[in-house]
Amino acid sequence: MEKLTFLLHIVVFIACAFPSSSSTLLNDRSFEISNLPSSRAEKLIRELNLFPKLDVNVIDVTDSTLASAEEEEVPSIVERSFRFPNIVSDGGATVEDLGHHAGYFKLPKSQGARMFYFFFESRTKKKDAPVVIWLTGGPGCSSELAMFYENGPFKIDKNMSLAWNEYGWDQVSNLLYVDQPVGTGFSYTTDKSDIRHDETGVSDDLYDFLQAFFAEHPTLANKDFYITGESYAGHYIPAFAARVHKGNRANEGVHVNLKAFLQGFAIGNGLTDPAIQYPAYPDYALEMGLITQAEHDRLEKIVPLCELSIKLCGTDGTTSCLASYLVCNTLFTGVMKHAGGVNHYDIRKKCEGSLCYDFSDMEKFLNLQSVRKSLGVGDIEFVSCSTSVYQAMLQDWMRNLEVGILTLLEDGINLLVYAGEYDLICNWLAGNSRWVNAMEWSGKENFKASKEVPFLVDGKEAGKLKSYGQLSFLKVHDAGHMVPMDQPKAALEMLKGWMENSLTGVDAVTTSTTTEGEDLVAQM
């Protein structure tokens, strides 16, 4: 409580000492209203136009269908093969040909939580194709965002038809998308106590899901496994990777091929070490011409207070972390105040109104009755991004997840950190690059001394790459926060090269099921 009081005093001090840079945070009643956690969450989600119609998927168990399912002994995982309607040029492929699955997993460490997932078999059907899991950030945003707009098998057209994505990551892997934490996407719970508040709960849920999924698909358990994602998944991914590694070392359940010569985890434009990344906002903004030197110098005076607040927050996610979140966000809001309505996910673009991106076609498509029937989700409402999940994770926001990466690197597990050069919110220049170079591992000095080389795609430079040992860092040209959306071919080449241990400065070479028509929800 003393730490929290002290940090609140810091917030008030910033308001008095730096009114121009903190006015968006503390002007008049804005500290009381506009930047409280719930309002901040709603504002950020509105900026992405992600339709927070529901705070979270909490289902009333008095519903007859679900109530009967709750009273019965149910399997931990139910899954069905499916075929999306309206696929253009699929050659009349059957569900068996496609190898696409949707399912629900009953979380064992919950009162009534069910985690929804998609699985897409590799289009090549190669026996050695690895398994790649993708986690979208938020926190609280559905992985279907990436599935339809970044690296999934299909793209949504305006007429609600699906076109094959030439650069979908299922070209080189068996691909998993999970709606997590519980309450996002089609995942749901019957009890609000199941909403997670930290990376321990999130990573345990993902690990339990992975164990059940591989038990259901034993042939996949023997394949190489990679964890990928972006944005706030910069928190999820290191925690999940550490949990998998811990389970492997303790011989818990199914052994997951995370540790071998090629296996690893990849973070795209992630938030991983806030103590380094938040103080970097003024530097990136100055470098990219978003603010003047005078504005930069003014914001720099807040940096020591941000660093102190994060230090007081520590690594355990206490209440003082909420105050730290407010203090450090004055750096971001200070930049945005002077940036002239720029899209903070891609500074080349303007954020017209509050709608920086329009992902409405995804929600329309997933709400089509034919799609819902195909997936077996019943009446569960799709939640693109959940304000409640976002709020629940705020005490986790300022934690440093880089500390868990060191053991993974030392134990031979590969890490790729990549970032689009035009993203502000999780920028490459002074954010991701700084924490990667600052990690205290045995290869630190050699990594820092390694030369930056061009990353080539089709003979043209698509980025700048730096590598040593298990660690690689790639700045991707002409991309913002969502690299696979902005540079889909480069992203696919990056993934393929990294998994083949050939990511260099040269060109990369390019369960039991259910009966159709029966809702998965009804069986859970």
Pairing mode, strands 131-135 and 225-230: parallel
* DSSP code per residue over 237-282: HHHHHHHHHHHHHTT-SS--BTSSSS-EEEEES----HHHHGGGHH
Q: Which amino acid is at 138?
A: G
Q: How far apart are CA 357 and CA 317, in angstroms?
A: 31
Q: How far is CA 477 from CA 173, 205, 320, 347, in A?
A: 24, 35, 38, 13
The residue among 209, 228, 222, 227 whose CA lies nearest residue 255 is 222
Tokens at 471, concatenated: 């660690």
Question: What are the residue ranges of helices labelled H in 51-185?
Answer: 64-71, 95-98, 144-149
Residue found by looking up tokens 């811990």 in the block: 246
Residues 110, 143, 203, 231: which is the catalytic one? 231
Q: Do the beta carbons of residue 175 and residue 169 sit within 8 Å?
A: yes
Rg of the chain (C-alpha set): 22
Structure tokens at 523: 């069986």
Residues with Cβ within 8 Å of residue 316, at least 6 apart in sequence = 399
For 303-319, b/e burial (b = at least 16 CB within 10 A) is bebbbebbebbeeebbe
- DSSP 8-state symbol, 24: H
Q: Which residue matches tokens 């103590």?
A: 275
User: Among residues 224, 423, 486, 519, which one is catalytic?
Assistant: 423
Q: Is the dihedral of CA 431, 434, 437, 440 positive or negative?
A: negative
- Cβ atoms 275, 310 nearer than 8 A: yes
- Which is it for the CA torsion 227, 116, 479, 508, positive or negative? positive
Which of these, 380, 493, 335, 352, lies nearest to 60 by C-alpha position?
A: 380
The reply to whether 320 belongs to the active site is no
Supply the DSSP string of 437-490, one letter for each residue. HH--STTHHHHHHSPPEEEEETTEEEEEEEEETTEEEEEETT--S-HHHHSHHH
What region does 395 belong to: left with phi over 0, alpha with psi -120 to 50, or beta?
alpha
Residue 423 annotated in active site: yes
Nearest alpha-carbon partner for 235 in 304, 309, 321, 149: 321
Q: How far is CA 112 from the centre of its chain?
A: 24
Among candidate residues 101, 245, 296, 481, the one labeled active-site is 481
Active site residues: 231, 423, 481
